[in-house]
Amino acid sequence: MKTLIQMLSRGKESRPQPLEDLLPQSKFGRRCSLLSIIPLFMLAVSGTLFVGTAASHPGVDPEIEEVTHELEEEPNRVDLWIQRGRLYRSGGAFNESLKDFEQAKQLAPDKKELILERGLTLSAMGRDVDAEVEFGRFLESESSSSGDLNRARVVALAERGHIRARTGREESAIADFTAALEMRPAVGLYLARGKAQESLGDLDAAAAGYREGLAKIGNVISLKKALIRVETARNRYDEVLRLIDEELARTSVKTPWHLHRAEILTLMGQAQAARLARQQALEETNRVLGRRPTALNRVSRAKVYIAMGNVDAAKRDLQLAVQIAPHFAEAGELLRKLEGR
């Protein structure tokens, strides 16, 4: 059963960024394709190619403009075509991205990385069938387990796994995520595999996978929360309390964990202990609010009041939060729901 706080909380769980924890950032802070860390060798290819200027793409960003100027000087450099194709993809210019990879293919028809790059762009376009074909081609053509190509295989497996998961083929997706994890443990992969296992109702496997991730990567909060969710669904309340207590001992942000503890104790039928946990949540949020009377901390206390059934006090805090930060969406949405608007 959902708690009142859960029902009033905003937003839906968004689709995870599957490769986020695998990919480096560019100098402008953008996530790049993993192939941006794969060495690209200079290829001596004869012939001249037409290179579009930056002016042909209104609003182009500085990185694309810089690479375009380099291509005007050296149109036979495969690495530059690939670099600009990735930049176009990250900016949502998917057709331009595909065109650049096609130019690179004309210069280097045997470069297998281009199959993967094309697949990533097709996946970003939502062309799942075409993208999956490309990932399959890449995985069949490149079986190396060394260095950069090994990481590229992880990307191909991970993205194909996401395509299979979102098209209802969870078992195939789990196989891809598992194969990728065997080469490179990553938070996003553990979460994606666990979500697919949960959707199949295999909670034992999901819990085991989240525990494996915590053991290999460390105390990552997203993995810990996923494990808590699954263990709650398995009615393993004592284990859930142990995990919550670990976080209470570790984190400086304790209020939500006290509230979560109260929810579990309620499920266990321990009403008095649950009331004590909610009181601890209130004391903690009062302490924090006394030091920093921010809109965020007002919302935090409002959630505690909601859990305690004190709706009027929650409204007062939310009204103050909206006054302090008029554009704080969560505060406004919670207040409207409490007021029945």
Domain spans, the chain:
239-341
Round to whole Å and give the CA distance between 159 and 173. 9
Residue 203 has pLDDT above 60, yes or no: yes
Residue 60 confidence (pLDDT) = 54
Across all residues in the chain, what is the average pLDDT? 83
The whole-number average pLDDT for the span 185-201 is 96
Q: Is the pLDDT of residue 7 over 50?
A: no
Q: What's this model's pTM, rounded to 2 decimal places?
A: 0.76
Q: What is the mean pLDDT of residues 81-110?
A: 93
Q: Is the pLDDT of residue 276 over 50?
A: yes
| Residue found under tokens 């990553």 | 186
Model confidence at 17: pLDDT above 90? no
What is the spatial distance between Cα 312 and Cα 85, in angstroms, rounded to a whole number?
A: 55
Q: Residue 156's closest CA among 120, 114, 111?
A: 120
pLDDT the model gives residue 57? 45
Query: Tell me, what's the pLDDT at 26?
Result: 40
- Residue 61's pLDDT band (boundaries 50, 70, 90)? confident
pLDDT surpassing 80 at residue 18: no
Q: Which amino acid is at 240?
A: V
| Strand, coil or helix: 28 | coil
Enumerate residues 6+ apart whose C-beta is below 8 A from 180.
Answer: 153, 154, 157, 158, 161, 186, 189
339 versus 45: the higher-pLDDT residue is: 339
Residues pairing with 31 in the sheet: 25
Q: How far is CA 294 from CA 258, 298, 321, in A?
A: 20, 6, 7
CATH architecture of 239-341: Alpha Horseshoe (1.25)
The percent of the chain in helix, strand and coil, each rounded to the nearest 5, is 70, 0, 30
Range of weakest confidence among 1-5, 33-37, 161-165, 323-327: 33-37
